[in-house]
């Protein structure tokens, strides 16, 4: 089996790539909320970015990040679930949208994507996750904990033992992201301080509330979740009918949970990239560039409104 690392998929390091990588020992969420005075870069309101889960569809997040950087708008706080947690952590660790774009393009090559799927005897998950762990460790390198990230980050997970959602913002970065992406039955759950953690998308696929809890006064949310009502999506899954129905039922639950959460804690601005209906959580990595461009276009459309919310212009972002 191929042992895939970021360096094997076009990941390059240079001075520009690590411009956000300086060590910043950050306070706790509570301290930041009381100490930030709700001000971000250049005295403007704190901008939080919430990135949803969505598997391959989450590659659109890279396009959103690219559009924001090109517009000169910096992010003060990040919150992510599953794929949103992976890309949020990579960005907070200093990886640029250009680097993430290159990595996603290489993952789209079937053989290299298969190299991440170290199948095992299904005791707690079909994929053991050892190869994915190595890949993520290098992607986040040299950061091992939340405390050293240049941008504050919270990732969503669900505790099976206590039947509740949790937000992880301190300690082991890699294990937290693994927990946030641990789809039950696919990846094994993660033991964390007496908790048994799985994919945060079960209860909080778009963690706007976690971005707000970091002190964000303006929250931009990016939703790439599947629409369970779209028949084209399900006709294209190529799964056995039983598997399709189970997946669709889970998607209905996630969509309803997301709608309920957003009613309680709405973002200031929502981005829903126009992604092809036939691109699902799994079937889509080979269309990486198309998804990234969709994210870019969607972000560019909301830039004028975002600048108004931040009371800033291009030169002040």
Q: Are strands 77-81 and 190-192 parallel, antiparallel or unpaired?
A: unpaired
Which residue, 263, 269, 172, is CA-closest to 221? Answer: 269
What spatial distance separates the first Cα and last Cα of the chain, rounded to whole Å?
45
**Is residue 172 annotated as part of the catalytic site, yes or no?**
no
Q: Give CA–CA dist 174/64, Å, rounded.
A: 23
Q: Are strands 195-199 and 218-222 parallel, antiparallel or unpaired?
A: unpaired
Scanning the chain, the segments in alpha helix (DSSP H) are 29-35, 60-70, 83-92, 97-107, 110-114, 130-140, 173-180, 208-213, 231-235, 241-264, 288-310
Q: Give CA–CA dist 244/112, Å, rounded.
A: 25
Which residue among the candidates 76, 118, 169, 199 is catalytic per the annotation?
199
**Is residue 82 annotated as part of the catalytic site, yes or no?**
yes
Which residue, 252, 110, 103, 79, is CA-closest to 176? Answer: 79
Q: DSSP label at 128?
A: -
Which residue among the candidates 82, 180, 251, 281 is catalytic per the annotation?
82
Q: Give CA–CA dist 78/75, Å, rounded.
A: 7
The catalytic residues are 82, 199
């Amino acid at each position: 089996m191929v042992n895939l690392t970021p360096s094997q998929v076009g990941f390059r390091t240079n001075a520009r790539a690590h411009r956000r990588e300086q060590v910043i020992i950050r306070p706790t969420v509570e301290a930041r909320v009381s100490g930030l005075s709700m001000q971000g870069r250049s005295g403007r309101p704190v901008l939080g970015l919430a990135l949803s889960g969505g598997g391959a569809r989450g590659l659109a997040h890279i396009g959103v990040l690219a559009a924001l950087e090109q517009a000169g708008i910096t992010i003060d706080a990040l919150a992510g679930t599953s794929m949103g947690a992976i890309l949020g952590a990579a960005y907070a660790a200093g990886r640029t949208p250009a680097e993430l774009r290159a990595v996603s393009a290489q993952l789209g090559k079937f053989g290299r994507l298969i190299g991440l799927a170290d199948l095992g005897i299904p005791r707690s998950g079909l994929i053991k996750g050892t190869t994915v762990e190595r890949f993520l460790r290098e992607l986040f390198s040299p950061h091992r904990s939340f405390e050293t990230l240049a941008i504050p980050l919270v990732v969503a997970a669900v505790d099976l033992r206590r039947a509740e959602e949790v937000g992880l913002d301190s300690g082991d970065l890699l294990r937290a992201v693994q927990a946030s992406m641990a789809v039950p039955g696919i990846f094994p759950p993660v033991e964390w301080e007496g908790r048994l953690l799985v994919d945060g998308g079960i209860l909080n696929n778009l963690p706007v509330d976690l971005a707000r809890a970091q002190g964000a006064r303006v929250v931009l949310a990016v939703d790439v979740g599947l629409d369970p009502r779209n028949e084209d999506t399900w006709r294209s899954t190529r799964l056995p009918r039983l598997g399709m129905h189970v997946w669709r039922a889970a998607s209905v639950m996630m969509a309803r949970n997301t709608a309920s959460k957003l009613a309680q804690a709405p973002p200031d601005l929502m981005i829903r990239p126009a992604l092809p209906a036939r691109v699902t959580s799994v079937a889509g990595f080979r269309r990486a560039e198309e998804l990234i461009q969709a994210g870019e276009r969607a972000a560019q459309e909301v830039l004028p409104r975002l600048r108004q919310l931040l009371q800033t212009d291009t030169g002040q972002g």
